[in-house]
A = this chain, B = another copy of it.
Amino acid sequence: MAAFCTREQAMKEKNILLDHGSGGLAAGELISGLFLEYLDNPVLARMEDAAVLDNPGGRLAFSTDSYVVDPLFFAGGDIGELAVNGTINDLAMQGATPLALSLGLIIEEGLEMEVLERIIASIARACRYAGVEVVTGDTKVVPRGKADRIFINTSGIGVVPEKADIGANRIRENDVILLSGSLAGHGITILTSRAGLQVEGGLASDTRPLHFLVQRLLAEHGTAVHAMRDPTRGGLGTTLAELARAGGLCMEIEERDIPLRSAVRAACELMGLDPLYLANEGKCVVIAAPEQAKEILAAMRSVEEGKNSRIIGRVTRQYPGRVVLTTIAGGRRLVEPLTGDPLPRIC
């Protein structure tokens, strides 16, 4: 079905009404006039309750993530861009190239229509940049006070190339640990924004899709890549702790090799936060065979998203299931997984 109403018709109310989530005419106008206006593609335009896609072959990756970040807009991004990149990255960490995204919105009655449009436009932009489309969606509206403005779920399907074999179970002793860039950009941006802090040098979320980097890695180094994770909630510390536990090996990392922007370092010190536990939304940890470490590092650095990649450590048998950090001062400490998070809604 083609769009049957214009953006102006869809946006005639200043705020979201309960009717916009009813499955009736008002909902249809919102989908047709606003969502199709920005996210138009032949599959979504059919407006069926499920998309039908050609099957490209290869194993399938499937992932889901809900986004409840507060504030909705922040330096370097917004909830819409985050929702696109975050789910792409979950697919990419399995070696997959994203094939299609779904978009599920839960909107609080009264949300400004203009805010919704900014978010949808941002989703459309992030999709174009990443080369992936929203092919199916759903909109629910709940009464005022029953949600906080807007929550977004994106799910994604991807295709895993034949030669990729990625998983925590493939981590081996002596593997190198690589990180694709500087730490904690997303987490510290959200936290300082909520605290109303201005930081010299500027902070910005690092939200970015990682599948281009992963495609490059896998095309050139296929099976030498053993495991990949994007250290989002819980940060690098928690991600490495999970990998250590899953593989039963020790992750030894060097603080001096972990890239950290000076503004991020300053803000972390000011707020008493450890950047090892802050969320990243455009970084990945790669665990790879030591024989190809140099080539893998060069491949990661050859793409924009990985230009600041570093080797930050090595897999050993020192403390099985644990993460050990050698500090800049030369001391060593265990990095425990985060138990909880004092500040929720980081993503």
Which A residues contact B (CB, under 8 angstroms)? 1, 4, 17-19, 21-28, 46-55, 57-68, 90-91, 93-94, 96, 100, 102-106, 135-138, 140-143, 145-148, 151, 153, 155-158, 160, 167-168, 229-230, 232-234, 238, 242, 245-246, 279, 337-341, 344-345
Contact = CB atoms under 8 A, between A and B. Distances in A.
A144 B60 CA distance: 37
Contact of A23 (B167, B168, B234): B234
Copies of this chain assembled into the complex = 2
A48 B279 CA distance: 17
A63 B136 contact: yes
A219 to B, nearest CB: 18
Nearest to A146: B148
A62 B238 contact: no
23 contacts: A18-B344, A21-B344, A22-B340, A22-B344, A23-B232, A23-B338, A24-B341, A25-B338, A25-B339, A26-B339, A48-B168, A49-B229, A50-B91, A52-B62, A54-B60, A55-B58, A62-B135, A66-B138, A68-B146, A104-B153, A106-B106, A106-B151, A142-B148
Nearest to A91: B50
Given A28-B337, A238-B23, A339-B19, A344 B49 contact: no
Contacts of A245: 1, 4
A338 B23 CA distance: 8
B50 A90 contact: yes
Contacts of A55: 55, 57-60
Nearest to A51: B62
A160 B51 CA distance: 11
Contacts of A341: 18-19, 21-24
A51 B63 contact: yes
